[in-house]
Homo-oligomer: A and B are copies of this chain.
Amino acid sequence: MVESELTAVSIRPHNVYTLAETLPHRKFTLSGSHPLYMQVKTAVLDRIRSGDWPPGGRLPSETQLAQDFGCSRLTVHRAIRELAHDGVVERRRRAGTRVAQADGVALEIHIRRITQEISQRGFAYSYDLLNRTQKIAPAYIAKFFDIPPTQKMLHVQCRHRAGERVFQLEDRWINLDAIPQAMDQGFEHESPGLWMLDHVPFSRMNHDISACIATAATARHLQVETGTAVLQLKRQAEWNGRAITCATLFHPADLYSLHPESRSL
């Protein structure tokens, strides 16, 4: 019988994994520490990270691992399933589980509501409305919303401040056809972004994160010099396949940067 290099490695006289030793006959009394599937997960992860199971290499089957670890297959399954979800391994029926090639990095950004974002930095939050008008949207906006270019939409411009500085300039279009309630909102004291977060459901959001330099108008609103660096976040929200709103959020680059976390573990 031909075993893969990995399977061969994993077969050892008695208990391959420290795990099995900590669980005499199991019955998940455990050492009060982590749940079993977690232990399996980290045990497998350790093997992968140590280079013991190289990228592209095959892991033992769930059944085999269950034997080695001295636990049920479902427990192993859950551990490996989560590793697969995190992109650490790839699985295919019959073909087995292989260590994923590091084809890149998966990052996760948590963008909290801006009031929190600001107060967490130790600044006082304040808000001011620059502009709120119903008007015909420019062609590219109308096209995005799939709306006849004759129909009026709501356009709001406002600012979020951290202390004295402008933290974010919000430039938003709202589809009044989809969100007629927005008509009744003045947005004098709360930004349309925050209002929508609480009052409008959405099923999908598209984002685009990029850099730009402050044009004269943008610089004036942001209270920075023309030509300074700006982090720009475009955000589009849909509800049931229908475009609800799109916004461009401008941040002075010296005030704001994104700190994503690597997934996996």
Residues of A within 8 A of B (CB): 49-51, 102-113, 116, 197-198, 201, 203-213, 227-232, 253, 256-260, 262-263
Contacts and interface: CB of A to CB of B under 8 A. Distances in A.
Given A103-B116, A112-B103, A201-B50, A211 B211 contact: yes
Contact of A198 (B102, B107, B109, B198): B102
Interface centre among A107, A111, A256 (most CB of B within 10 A): A107
A209 B108 CA distance: 12
A210 B258 contact: yes
A205 B180 CA distance: 44
Contacts of A201: 49-51
14 contacts: A104-B111, A105-B110, A106-B108, A106-B109, A106-B110, A107-B207, A208-B259, A209-B258, A209-B259, A210-B211, A210-B256, A210-B257, A211-B229, A213-B229
Contacts of A212: 211, 229, 253
A108 B107 contact: yes
A231 B211 contact: yes
A1 to B, nearest CB: 31
B213 A228 contact: yes
B227 A227 contact: yes
Residue among A108, A253, A260 with the highest chain B CB neighbour number at 10 A: A260
Nearest to A107: B109
Given A107-B109, A207-B259, 4 more contacts: A108-B108, A109-B260, A208-B257, A208-B258
Contacts of A229: 210-213, 229-230
Contacts of A228: 213
Nearest to A208: B257
A104 B207 CA distance: 13
A168 B211 CA distance: 14
B211 A232 contact: yes
B111 A205 contact: no
Contacts of A207: 107, 258-260, 262
Nearest to A110: B106
Given A106-B108, A107-B108, A213 B232 contact: no
B113 A104 contact: yes
A209 B209 contact: yes
Nearest to A212: B229
Top 9 A-B pairs ranked by shortest CB distance?
A211-B211, A210-B257, A104-B112, A211-B253, A209-B258, A211-B231, A211-B229, A107-B109, A205-B262
A102 B112 CA distance: 9
